[in-house]
Amino acid sequence: MSQHGKAIIFSAPSGAGKTTLVHHLLDNTNLQLAFSISATTRAKRVREVEGQDYYFLSPSEFLAKAKNGDFLEWEEVYEEQYYGTLKSEIERIWSQGQHVIFDVDVIGGLNLKKIFEDKALSVFVEPPSLEALHFRLRNRSTETPEKIAMRIAKAQAEMAYAPKFDTIIVNDILEDAMIQAELKVAEFLSKP
């Protein structure tokens, strides 16, 4: 895969606000960012759109693509729930003269940083506390209490990876986190 642009990688525990920050950055046309649409086997949520939020695949379709080498990186995030980055997605974005921005889980983010090395900025979005994270996940009203408990347990483990990222943004006050994200990304993209 030829390298034409840079990569911005946003990772965080579920509910920390990474998707909100990524959408904010995508709205800033000066940054020339395009969203890398991940493939997943998880069920589509109510407002999600195929080919816009995710490429929704069956587990057998996903594993066939993995076996075929179609993914830049992929993993089983939860049992029988796979997520991955299609190589074709990166080529599509770079061929349009844009930089790619990722909204991925923590392990996926670290894997992508290894692949892109100094052509990538890896950003860890941290919730102000696990209590705040629990509150956000509950207020989403998209998941069962069991799923929320599973995500909180996973979040605790993921927080230990924060120092492995290039930078950390604590998303306590959303407006402040948005400004921080814009400044860090603009600074990185301005470097040769």
Q: Is residue 32 part of a domain?
A: yes
pLDDT of residue 121: 98
With a cut of 70, list the residues of the chain below it in pLDDT.
1-3
**Residue ranges making up the domain that contains 45:** 7-190
Q: Is residue 26 part of a domain?
A: yes
Q: Is residue 129 part of a domain?
A: yes
User: Which CATH number characterizes residue 80's domain?
Assistant: 3.40.50.300
Q: Is residue 2 part of a domain?
A: no
Q: Is residue 1 part of a domain?
A: no
pLDDT of residue 138: 79
> What backbone torsions phi and psi does residue 27 show, to the nearest 5 degrees?
-70, -20
pLDDT of residue 98: 95
**How confident is the model over 108-139, as pLDDT tens digits?**
899 999 999 999 999 999 988 888 888 878 78
Tally of domains within the chain:
1
Q: Is residue 101 part of a domain?
A: yes
Q: Is residue 117 part of a domain?
A: yes
CA distance 109 to 75: 11
Q: Is residue 63 part of a domain?
A: yes
